[in-house]
Structure formats: structure tokens, C-alpha cells
Amino acid sequence: MRILTSLIAFLLIFNIGKAQDQGPEMVLVEGGEFYMGNDYSANADERPEHKINLNSFFISKNEVTVADYAKFCRVTGQRLPDGDPLTPINNITWEEAVMYCNWLSRASRLDKCYDLQRDSNRFTATIIPEANGYRLPTEAEWEYAAKGGIKSKSYAFSGSNDLEEVAWYINNSGNTAHEVGQKKPNELGIYDMTGNAMEWCYDWYQPKYYQTSPADNPTGSSTGISKVCRGGNFMCRPDVLRNSRRFNLDKSSNEGLAGIRLVKNE
């Protein structure tokens, strides 16, 4: 009986350990100040450049892959994604992205980060600030990480001024997504923040948000009609791939070649 009890205890510990190891490899982004936006951009929504203060957080080294997302689909009965398993998922809605975050959090024995409410006309996802699970980055967190955080060398793109070094885009992608982590990482060791798949952020998109944005840990406008995406994708031209470039898509759209990069609170 004692041996059986010990075996059961071992299996429980082993299974909990496995459950807690469901998430991707994460990189610590140390908090600090940075200038968000671009006063020299032709796009008014990137102006004015403004100082932001962020707390530390973790961000995934790579984008969520087709293989990662397929695990969620098999468990929840969602349609299985197309594409090479090692390429980033890039045809999902914002709504599906936050559902994936909650699923992965629970699979990893962590707190869910979103309170999800759905009826026939509406889908809402309210952030739970103190949760320790996986979530989408805020727009400010995304830009700070893309620029290299406290290690930033002020590159135009994430990790280099040479787009070929760090990105899959229209000139080299062959019009398709590529296996994650094949290009040079940025200053923090994060891959593919420029090009490959667009990346959903938590924030509602408002073109004039920078004019009134709070300085400390901004989370975007309280309302909107579309959600922020960042980083561009494998079909983008070089002139839209700068770190400060803002994109937006309807949260129910899966046609923007957008996928997921995960974040956790420190």
C-alpha cells in the first residue's frame, strides 16, 4: 500500500509538472522607459512620439506555431489550421487568439487572463490584471519588446536596420509564412517580430490614442471598432515594417495574416 501511495503521488507530481510545461519559451523584458511612436512618420496615428513607462513582463521568444495552435483545436473542437506545423499560425481572429490564451493558461495550471462573454451578437474579453497566465501583449508592450527594451540599439526594424537579416516579407518570403526562429533575433533574443505573421495586441485601435495615452502601462482605448495588430507579415512591403507602424483589423477577421505572440506578467 505504501508503495502504491508513493507511486500515485509521483504520478500526480509528474503530471502537474507536465501540465505546467505547456507554454512556450519566454524572454524577460525588463521594465523601463521608452519613446513610443514616430514623429517622422507620414501616418498620423504614429504621432506624437511620447514617453511610456512599463513594468517588467515575459514575452514568448517565438510566435505561436501551427502545431501549437492545433493542440488547442483538437481539445476544443475548433477547425484544425492549415500550414506547415513549424510556421506561425496566421489566419485566426482576435477572438480565437484570446480563447487560445485562456486555454493554454488552464492547460498550464495558471490563472486565465480574460473573462470571456459571448452571446448571439457580441463577444467581449475583459482583462484580469492580476492573473498569472498567458495573454496578448498590449500595444505598448509589443513596441517596447520589438525595439529591444532596455537593450535597444534604435534599429528601424526589430533587431536590425537590414530587413533581410530579421524578417520574412514580400521580397523574400515567396508569399508564404516560414518556420519560426530562422532569422536573426532582436536585442532581447526574440524572433520574427518584424514580418512573417502579423501579431494581435490586446488594445482597441484608435487613430488619435497617442494624443491622450497615459504614460504608465497603457492598455489602449476603452472602446473601438477594430483591434491593433503589429509587426507586419510575409506579404508586407519594406516601407510598412518599421517598429512603430500600427495596423488594425476587425476582431472577427481571420484574413489579415495575423497570429499570436504570448505575454505573461512577471
Within the chain, what is the greatest distance between any pair of CA atoms? 74
- As a whole number of Å, the end-to-end CA separation of the chain is 42
State how far Cα 177 lies from the chain centre: 16
CATH number of 25-265: 3.90.1580.10
Measured CA distances, 167 to 153, 182, 184 (Å): 17, 9, 8
> pLDDT tens digits for 11-20?
333 344 444 5
| pLDDT score of 20 | 57
Q: Cβ distance 94 to 227 under 8 Å?
A: yes
Phi, psi for 257 (deg, rounded to 5):
55, 40
| Number of CB atoms found within 10 A of residue 26's CB | 16
In contact, 244 and 34? CB cutoff 8 Å: no
Partnered with residue 135 across adjacent β-strands are 263
CA distance 17 to 212: 44
- Check: pTM over 0.95? Answer yes or no: no
> What was the pLDDT predicted at 256?
87
Sorted by where each begins, the domain ranges of the chain are 25-265
Phi-psi region of 251 (alpha: psi -120 to 50; beta: other; left: phi over 0): alpha
| Three-state secondary-structure class, residue 130 | coil
Half-sphere exposure of 213 (CA within 13 A, CB side): 30
8-state DSSP, 240: G
pLDDT score, position 21: 53
Tens digit of each residue's pLDDT (9 = 90 or more) over 122-134: 899 999 999 999 9
pLDDT at residue 107 tops 70: yes
Q: How does the average pLDDT of the chain come out, rounded?
A: 93
- Residue written as grid cell 495586441: 201
Beta-bridge partner residues of 126: 115
Residue with cell 501616418: 43
